[in-house]
Chain A
C-alpha cells in the first residue's frame, strides 16, 4: 500500500499543496488532471526523484520520504519511454537485473520470459530508435516490470501514441495489471483512459487533489465545478456488451439495454451526448434504435439551454432550448419519451 500524507513541494512553476492519497495493493489508480496540474511531479516524488518540502510517503507501512529512488523498488514509465538509446532492447530490459548482480543464466531466463510476455523477442538486438511507439512502450514496461516493483508509476504512458494504437495498448495495460498483479499509478489528462483502466481516479488541479473515487462516483457526483467541467461528460453508464451477428451491439447496464453500432464484447462504458437525444411527449415512430420512457427528475436552467435529468432506468441528461422547453410544458415528475440512434452511442 502507498500512503501519501500532507505532501507539499514548491519548485519553479510547479506547486503541490497538501496532497493526501492512499493507493491499495493491486489497485489501478489513475491521477487525472489538466497539464500543469502537478501530476508528473507527484509521480516523481513517489519515485524519489525529488525531496518534498514537507509531508511523508509510505510504502508498505515503511516511510520512504527521504529514500533515494534506487532503494524504493518502483518501476517508472515515461510518456516517451526513455529507453536508453545506446542499449539494445535486451540490454534495456537487463539493466535492473545486471545492477542487482543476478547470475547470467537467471537474467537470460527472466528476460526471455518477459520478452515473450510482451511479444518483443524478435527485437532483442535492436536499438530503441528503430522501434515503433508501441514496441518502445512494451520494452519500457518490460524493463520496469522485470525488477518486480512494489508499484508501477506511469507518466502519460499512452500520450505519445495515436488513437488506434492507444486502444490496443489500453488492453495491453489491462493485461499487464492482471498478469503481474501489480499496483499501478498512472497519470493522464485523458479521461477515456481513466475510465477504461482505473479502479479509482484522483482528479488533480492546480497542485491539489480535488476528488478521489471510482469513475461512476466522479462522473456522476463531481465534487466541485472544476471536476464537473473537467470531466465534462454526461451520460456515462457501465454495462456488459454482447455482439449480435450483423446486428447492433447490445449493452446491458443492469437496468436498461442500449444499442450501439460499435463492436465490443464484455465490460464497457457507454456514453451518449445529450445533444444527440431527442424528446417527445407521446411515443412516435423514428429511426432511432434506442427508445426509453422516463420521468423528469431534475430541471436546471442554464440560460440559453435547459438541462433535464430523466430517469429511464438510468439517469439520462438531455439539453433542450428554452423555447422547446416552454412549448412542451415540462415539469418535474412529467413522463416523456427519449430517443437516440445506435450510431450516437459511444463505447469504451
Chain B
C-alpha cells in the first residue's frame, strides 16, 4: 500500500528519462530554439528569485519578529498563489500588467512591457514562487533566538548591522534552501506564463508548443532536458539541507 504513491510518481519520471535516446537529446541541446528557451527559463527564474529575495527577506524578518494586527491576513496573502490555479494567476496578472492595466500603464511609461515580453515571464514566475522564499526565510529567522540580537545590540550594534551580522548569517541556510525552491518552482511554471507572455518562449512553453504542433516525440527530449535541470536543483537542495553546518548541533 505504502509504495503505491512512490511508484506512481517514480514510474512516469523514470520512464520519461529513458524514453528518448542520447543522440536526440544531444541534437536538441544544440538546437538554438531549445537553448534559448532554457536560457529564458533559467534567467527569468533567477531574476524572479532575486526580486523575491530583495522584498521577501525583510518581510520574512518582520513576520518572524513582530506581532501586529493583520499579520494573519498578510501571511494568507503570501500563500494565496499556491492555492489558485496558475492559469487564473495568469489572467489576474494579465489584467493588471497589460499596457492599459493599473500597473502595466505606469510601468509602460518607464519602458517596461509585460505582455509577450521577458518581464512578463519574470512576474508570472515571481507571482507563483515568491512564497517559498518568504516562508523559508521566516522559518530561518524564527529559529534564531532574538536574545542573540539583543546581546549584539547591547554590544553597540545598530539594528541594521545586527540583522546583517547575526540574524542573516544564522538563517542563511533556510534562505538559500528557500531560494532554490523558489527558483525550481519558477522554472517549472507554465500556466500563468502562456497567458501573460507566450513569447519569449520559456522551456515549459516550448514543450507545450512542440507537443501541440509536432506531437509527443518532438516534445519529449526537451521535457527530459528540463526535468534533469529541475532534478539537479532539487538534489542540490537536499544536499544543502543535510550537509549545511549548523552551529547549534554537534
- Interface residues of chain A, those whose CB is within 8 Å of chain B, are 44, 47-49, 68-70, 72, 74-76, 78, 82, 84-86, 95-96, 99-100, 127-130, 143-144, 147, 149, 153
Contact A86 B153 (CB under 8 A): no
Q: In the complex, what distance in Å separates the CA atom of A153 from the CA atom of B155?
A: 12
Interface of A, helix, strand, loop or mixed by DSSP: mixed
Contact A70 B158 (CB under 8 A): yes
How close is B168's CB to chain A, nearest CB, in angstroms?
Answer: 10
How close is A107's CB to chain B, nearest CB, in angstroms?
Answer: 13
Q: Which among A49, A70, A96 has the greatest number of chain B C-beta atoms within 10 A?
A: A70
Contact A49 B247 (CB under 8 A): no
Contact B150 A76 (CB under 8 A): yes
Chain B: CB-nearest residue to A44: B150
Contact A84 B154 (CB under 8 A): no
How close is A299's CB to chain B, nearest CB, in angstroms?
Answer: 50
17 additional contacts, CB 8 Å, given A70-B154, A84-B166?
A44-B150, A47-B150, A49-B150, A68-B153, A69-B153, A70-B155, A76-B151, A78-B147, A84-B148, A86-B247, A95-B157, A99-B156, A127-B247, A129-B247, A129-B249, A144-B155, A149-B154
How close is B160's CB to chain A, nearest CB, in angstroms?
Answer: 11
Contact B156 A96 (CB under 8 A): yes
How close is A55's CB to chain B, nearest CB, in angstroms?
Answer: 20
Q: In the complex, what distance in Å separates the CA atom of A153 from the CA atom of B170?
A: 25
Q: Which among B145, B156, B157 has the greatest number of chain A C-beta atoms within 10 A?
A: B156
The 4 A-B residue pairs with the shortest CB-CB distance, nearest first, are A85-B247, A96-B155, A69-B153, A76-B154
Known A85-B170, A129-B247, A129-B248; judge A95-B155 contact (CB<8 A): yes
Q: 12 A-B Cβ contacts within 8 A?
A: A68-B159, A69-B154, A70-B158, A74-B154, A85-B248, A86-B247, A95-B152, A95-B157, A127-B247, A129-B248, A147-B155, A147-B156
Contact B170 A86 (CB under 8 A): yes
**B58 interfacial by beta-carbon distance below 8 Å:** no
How close is A119's CB to chain B, nearest CB, in angstroms?
Answer: 22
B152-192 residues with Cβ-Cβ distance < 8 A to A are 152-159, 161, 166, 169-170
Q: In the complex, what distance in Å separates the CA atom of A106 from the CA atom of B128?
A: 52
Q: In the complex, what distance in Å separates the CA atom of A69 from the CA atom of B146?
A: 14
B221-250 residues with Cβ-Cβ distance < 8 A to A are 247-250
How close is B132's CB to chain A, nearest CB, in angstroms?
Answer: 24
B247 contacts across to A, CB distance below 8 A: 85-86, 127-129
How close is B171's CB to chain A, nearest CB, in angstroms?
Answer: 11
A143 contacts across to B, CB distance below 8 A: 155
Q: In the complex, what distance in Å separates the CA atom of A82 from the CA atom of B148?
A: 5
Interchain CB contact (< 8 A) of B156 among A85, A100, A127, A129: A100
A82 contacts across to B, CB distance below 8 A: 145, 147-148, 150-151
B148 contacts across to A, CB distance below 8 A: 82, 84-85
Chain A: CB-nearest residue to B156: A99
Contact B166 A70 (CB under 8 A): no
Q: In the complex, what distance in Å separates the CA atom of A301 from the CA atom of B147?
A: 49
Q: In the complex, what distance in Å separates the CA atom of A82 from the CA atom of B145?
A: 8
How close is B169's CB to chain A, nearest CB, in angstroms?
Answer: 5
Q: In the complex, what distance in Å separates the CA atom of A96 from the CA atom of B129?
A: 39
Q: In the complex, what distance in Å separates the CA atom of A78 from the CA atom of B161?
A: 21
B154 contacts across to A, CB distance below 8 A: 47-48, 69-70, 72, 74-76, 144, 149, 153
Q: In the complex, what distance in Å separates the CA atom of A78 from the CA atom of B151?
A: 9
Q: In the complex, what distance in Å separates the CA atom of A95 from the CA atom of B153?
A: 11
Q: In the complex, what distance in Å separates the CA atom of A70 from the CA atom of B155?
A: 6
Q: In the complex, what distance in Å separates the CA atom of A70 from the CA atom of B149?
A: 11
Q: In the complex, what distance in Å separates the CA atom of A252 from the CA atom of B148?
A: 46
Chain B: CB-nearest residue to A143: B155
How close is B78's CB to chain A, nearest CB, in angstroms?
Answer: 25
A144 contacts across to B, CB distance below 8 A: 154-155
Q: In the complex, what distance in Å separates the CA atom of A144 from the CA atom of B151?
A: 9
A99 contacts across to B, CB distance below 8 A: 155-157, 161
A85 contacts across to B, CB distance below 8 A: 148, 170, 247-248
Q: In the complex, what distance in Å separates the CA atom of A346 from the CA atom of B239?
A: 57
Q: In the complex, what distance in Å separates the CA atom of A279 from the CA atom of B109?
A: 99
How close is A264's CB to chain B, nearest CB, in angstroms?
Answer: 35
Contact A86 B169 (CB under 8 A): yes
Q: In the complex, what distance in Å separates the CA atom of A75 from the CA atom of B161?
A: 18
Q: In the complex, what distance in Å separates the CA atom of A129 from the CA atom of B246?
A: 10
Known A85-B170, A86-B247, A99-B161; judge A70-B156 contact (CB<8 A): yes
B151 contacts across to A, CB distance below 8 A: 76, 78, 82, 84
A78 contacts across to B, CB distance below 8 A: 147, 151
Q: In the complex, what distance in Å separates the CA atom of A334 from the CA atom of B226?
A: 100
Chain B: CB-nearest residue to A71: B156
